[in-house]
Amino acid sequence: MDRFTAPPYRIKMIEPIKQTTLQERKESLEKAYNNLFLLPSEAVYIDLLTDSGTGAMSHYQWAALMQGDESYAGSRSFYRLEETVKEITGYKYMIPVHQGRGAEQVVLPLLAKHSDMYFISNMHFDTTRAHVELAGATAIDCVVDECFDIDTFSPFKGNMNVEKCEAYIKDLGRENIAGIIMTMTNNSAGGQPVSLENLRYVYALTQKYDIPLIMDGARFAENACFIKQREKGYDKHEIKDIAREMFDHADIFLMSAKKDALVNIGGLIVIKKDVEFFRECQGRTVPYEGFPTYGGLAGRDMEAMAVGLKEGLEEDYLIHRLDQVRYLSEKLRKAGVPVQYPAGGHAVFVDCKNMCSHIPFDQFPAQSVCNALYLEAGVRTVEVGSFLLGRDPKTGKNIESPFEWMRLAIPRRTYTYAHLDHVAEGVISVYMKRKELKGLYFEYEPKVLRHFMAKLKYV
């Protein structure tokens, strides 16, 4: 399938971006202490740091912004968003929040009812894990083994290992499991999808043991499109019907709207039918996020989200979206660059452990590759490996990550195939020079979330 669809939209407003010279990039990187998070965005030509909140809105969304009702309570924009969310999910109750982690800080502590509880997930996203731990609970990841075999095609590498999950429930005791979290698509595994078959098994398990199933569904629409493309029996289904079937197999839906809702800010808590739990969430939303009819958002943000949620489910958009990611991935694979295969829904992951085996894990090989790509092509990416993982709190030693990834996240509706050609050429040039790359060490290391503010030097 080597055809890649053209975008189902045309450009009517542009934001200029500028390529810099190699000399300018060297100076910028030095001033940023060799940490791409510390670069001003103007020093970047193509920004693949994240796909979160970085997409382009449609003219329908911009028009909707003008209709925002900024009333503190009972905003018309809230009701419009609520109606859309109910229609898409079939759930009864909705609370807007400022972004995904806002939903997590409201919901997860309410589920961790006593100390020493566990959440089991196919894979916790990093803010989700942080909120599980802040709630005094433990996060267990339970993804299928195929996820770790990066060269072999498998259609649903984001799936939960159901046998292992049930073994954990029996082992730890049902009363100690606060919830089962299905991350769809599985962000930390490279945006790999979860099948409906797998979700059905997991949902049956949660019903058998009476445990709530939480869908962490920032990319639920991309997941639904993968189901249509890859799962037996779904090729004739409409995306919105597949998404609806996904929601039927969960109890609570948490969403960072900065992904598939095609907005720059926003999030959602959606509850299928438990009115008691909804009331508890509403109560906690007030001090943390805001009154439950705005939850930290402006009325106009809710308008744009209501439109974006529907556009995010349009099939021609989704096919092009997944094609863009696959296009970049295939280009790199053809040139011999080791990447997670098949590509996920929002990003291409380059295996830098394999690429730079001469750099030890505690000199952060993937960070070295990210920096080299910036110097080569003005492209910003992010390290997902031992630099991000940090130290063992008990021993103070650097933890070795199983993977050293350079993640190239593709913003939605933002770049063209020509931009991706430029990115691919940059990555391939760096790949050719991989043996010359050097490791890094800390000039300054923050105590928590070190990757954001760290200052690095080359060995």
**Binding residues for ligand PLP (CB under 6 A):** 52, 99-101, 125, 127-128, 183, 187, 216, 218, 256, 258-259, 267
CB of residue 201 to ligand PLP, shortest distance in Å:
20
Q: Is 232 a catalytic residue?
A: no
Report, in Å, the least distance between residue 236 CB and ligand PLP: 28
Token output for 106: 């409201």
Measured CA angle at 121 (ends 237, 165), to 5 deg: 95
User: What does 274-342 look like in DSSP terms, one character per residue?
Assistant: -HHHHHHHHHHHHHHT-STTTTT--HHHHHHHHHHHHHTT-HHHHHHHHHHHHHHHHHHHHTT--B-SS
Query: Toward ligand PLP, which CB reaches closer, 34 or 183?
Result: 183
For 57, the token pair is 């809105």
Strand, helix or coil for residue 270: strand
340: left (phi over 0), alpha (psi -120 to 50) or beta: beta
Phi, psi of 253 (to 5 degrees): -120, 120
171 flagged as catalytic: no
Nearer to ligand PLP, 267 or 290 (CB): 267
Instruction: Please say whether the beta carbons of 193 and 246 come within 8 A.
Output: no
User: From the CB of 183, what's the least distance to ligand PLP, in Å?
Assistant: 5
Please identify which of the residues 78, 125, 364, 374 carries the catalytic annotation.
Answer: 125
Does 259 participate in catalysis according to the annotation? yes
Q: How far is CA 428 from CA 1, 369, 376, in A?
A: 23, 11, 10
Set 243, 351, 451, 454: catalytic member: 451
Closest approach, Cβ 381 to ligand PLP, in A, equals 17
Closer Cβ to ligand PLP, 43 or 180, answer by number: 180
Report CA-CA distances (Å) from 115 to 118, 126, 131, 136, 165: 9, 21, 14, 6, 21
Residue whose C-alpha is closest to residue 325's, from 261, 380, 407: 407
Compare residues 359 and 382 and give the one whose CB is closer to ligand PLP.
Answer: 382
Catalytic residue among 124, 258, 259, 353: 259
Query: Which two three-digit tokens encode residue 458?
Result: 């080359």
Q: Which two tokens stand for residue 118?
A: 């566990």
Cβ nearer to ligand PLP, comparing 29 with 103: 103
Q: Shortest Cβ distance from residue 39 to ligand PLP (Å)?
A: 20
Q: Shortest Cβ distance from residue 218 to ligand PLP (Å)?
A: 4
Q: Report how far apart the first and last C-alpha atoms of the chain are (Å, whole number).
A: 44
Q: How far is the CB of 420 from ligand PLP (least distance, A)?
A: 22
Of the listed 32, 112, 130, 218, which one is catalytic? 218
Q: Are 99 and 266 in contact (CB under 8 A)?
A: yes
Is 451 one of the catalytic residues? yes
Cβ-proximal residue to ligand PLP, closest one: 100
Q: Write down the least CB distance from residue 117 to ligand PLP, Å.
A: 20
Query: Which residue, 345 or 439, has its beta carbon nearer to ligand PLP?
Result: 345
Catalytic residue among 18, 60, 72, 441: 72
Nearer to ligand PLP, 156 or 361 (CB): 156
Cβ contacts of residue 88 below 8 Å, gap of 6+? 240, 243, 244, 247, 309, 310, 313
CB atoms within 10 A of CB 145: 10
Cα–Cα distance for residue pair 84/303, rounded to 1 Å:
10
Cα 317–Cα 264–Cα 348 angle in degrees, nearest 5: 55
For ligand PLP, the closer of residues 267 and 299 by Cβ is 267
| Catalytic annotation, pick one of 47, 51, 69, 216 | 216
Annotated catalytic residue 178: no
Residues annotated as catalytic (active site), given as ranges: 72, 125-126, 216, 218, 259, 451
